[in-house]
Amino acid sequence: MDLSDLLKDMDGILIYNQGEPVIDLNFFYITKLLDSGIFEGSYLFIDKEKSVIITSELEETSAKKSNLDVRIFKKNTEKDEILKQILENKKKIGISYSTFTIKEFNNLKSKFPEIEFLDIDSKLSSFRQVKDDFEISLIKEAARIASIAAEEIINYMKEGMTENELAAYLTYILMKNGAQENAFTPIVAFGENSAEPHYFSGSRKLKKGDFVLLDFGARYRKYNSDITRTYIFGSGNDKQKRIYEVVKEAQEIGIRAIKDGKPGKDVDTEVRNFIDSTEFKGLFIHSTGHGVGLAVHDHPALSQSSDLILREGMVVTVEPGVYLKGFGGVRIEDDVLVKREGAEVLTTAPKDLIEV
């Protein structure tokens, strides 16, 4: 990553990691502090000469692992004084508007009224789109853990269990196999609930003939994976099997379409056109995929609303689905590494229809 182009137009960059729920992932991306510390209320300042972490005593040991200049404060007044020293005589500072609350932005402006704060959020995001070899290795490990879980979870499915129970087992399997935590709250949807793409798991009990849709991911050293598999508990009927067949073929079309230089919108079009050529026209109701990295939804990728051009080193999901309200739905999702010619599928759990 090279921030020098950004620094040509300004006197420095100030990253503010407020803490839950407003995390600035750029803080961790730039410092490479991936294994410890939450860095609540911490700043990272970068100019042409130096990179400085400003953090509390709670994070001192973690911060010093970065090998950057670390300034420690005990009270907020001390933090303000350190900021004042660092920003002295600065005219233009780049910040990420999306991770400053209005309150914190107004607070910053009131302390430094002479500084023009420029929004560089989209530019920072673009740096994170293409992953280096180290980042790819972490995502591959997160994908490996999630793939194991997608296979092991089948052994825990029992008639009468609730969606929440199966979600708990899923979390256990991920952690047992090396995940730092869930990449996001797992979606476990039985039967008709699988027709709701962003369903929130609940007390619905598992019955014979149900779809079992599992959308989850592993977080490993702050990098994420995102996988979806759909099973049938017991024997499926012809309609369920037909939906599965269509979605599986649509996903294969999407994966084959991916390569360096291709517009993500075109991949979405190919997948969407195929589904719309079947009896399930109009029942694919979300985009084909998104970027994955430090964020689960790292950036837009395979969507009609995005002009993103795929580049070698991006990691994106391919996740078509068909959803019939009141009946159920199927989604199949994998994490895919964009290569110069084609793609490498990182999540490896089987995709042939499994009747548990």
User: Has residue 142 got a pLDDT over 90?
Assistant: yes
User: Has residue 207 got a pLDDT over 80?
Assistant: yes
Ranges in the chain annotated CATH 3.90.230.10: 130-345
Ranges in the chain annotated CATH 3.40.350.10: 4-128
Q: Please give the Cα distance from 179 to 194 (Å, whole number).
A: 25
pLDDT tens profile 21-73: 889 999 999 999 999 889 999 999 999 999 999 999 999 999 999 999 999 99
User: Has residue 2 got a pLDDT over 80?
Assistant: no
pLDDT tens profile 257-295: 999 999 999 999 999 999 999 999 999 999 999 999 999
Determine the topology of domain 130-345 in CATH: Creatine Amidinohydrolase (3.90.230)
Q: Please give the Cα distance from 29 to 341 (Å, whole number).
A: 27
- pLDDT score at 21: 87
Lowest mean pLDDT among 6-10, 119-123, 333-337: 6-10
From residue 329, how far is each of 115, 232, 280 by CA, in Å? 52, 11, 11
- pLDDT score at 16: 96
From residue 15, how far is each of 70, 85, 118, 182, 285 by CA, in Å? 14, 16, 12, 26, 36
- pLDDT score at 36: 80
Q: How confident is the model at residue 1 (pLDDT cuts 50, 70, 90)?
A: low
Q: How confident is the model at residue 9 (pLDDT cuts 50, 70, 90)?
A: confident
Counting residues of the chain whose pLDDT is more than 70, the rounded percentage is: 99
What number is the average pLDDT over the span 188-201? Answer: 97
139: left (phi over 0), alpha (psi -120 to 50) or beta: alpha
Counting residues of the chain whose pLDDT is more than 90, the rounded percentage is: 96
Q: How confident is the model at residue 240 (pLDDT cuts 50, 70, 90)?
A: very high
From residue 350, how far is each of 99, 275, 306 by CA, in Å? 38, 21, 30
Pairing of strands 227-233, 315-318: unpaired
- Mean confidence (pLDDT) of the chain: 96
Return the CATH architecture of domain 4-128. 3-Layer(aba) Sandwich (3.40)
